[in-house]
Amino acid sequence: PSLVRKIAKDAAKYGVEVLDAPVSGGTTGAEAGTLTIMVGGPAEALDKARPVLECMGKKVLAVGDIGCGNIAKLINNMMSLVANSVSAEAFLLGKKAGIDPQVLWEIVTSSTADNWCVRRYPNTTFKRNFEPGFKINLAYKDIGLAIDLGRDYNIPLPLAIEVKKELETAIE
């Protein structure tokens, strides 16, 4: 966020408006044109860019000032990475304790622990398909940036810090 804010400030000297518009939805969403696009910056600039952004995404959301698109993306990724870690631990515990993972999946996806990561299990984890949907180095970078952002705002993020440690171990 701080870098795009500096870029926007510098660009404004030349009459250029800047938006930050990170996306969510992965390769599949990009290919299908169904990305969620989180846009930070002036509303007038977004109005001009919206037709182009709508070609790439089904949701184009104004999230605030310049940099807020990046902040929203970091928060989304942090939440997803933490949810993915705890979901993997929980399913392993369930299996080792004697619960069929498919039965546990039925319970979880119709209960309060439902999440996007778990929804993917029947087509990935249960089929032993561990093809990455998001590169671990990018996950590590993003969660580190989210933790840095938390420090900037004096918000402790103990779960994110633990997941960052897990990612570091996985990278090693």
Active-site residues, by number, are 73
Locate 104 and state its tokens: 């546990």
Pairing assessment for the beta strands 23-24 and 35-40 based on DSSP bridges:
antiparallel
Type of residue numbered 155: I
Task: Find out whether 58 and 8 touch, Cβ atoms under 8 Å.
Answer: no
Nearest to 77 by CA among 8, 14, 21, 23: 23
Dist CA 121 CA 80 (whole Å)? 14
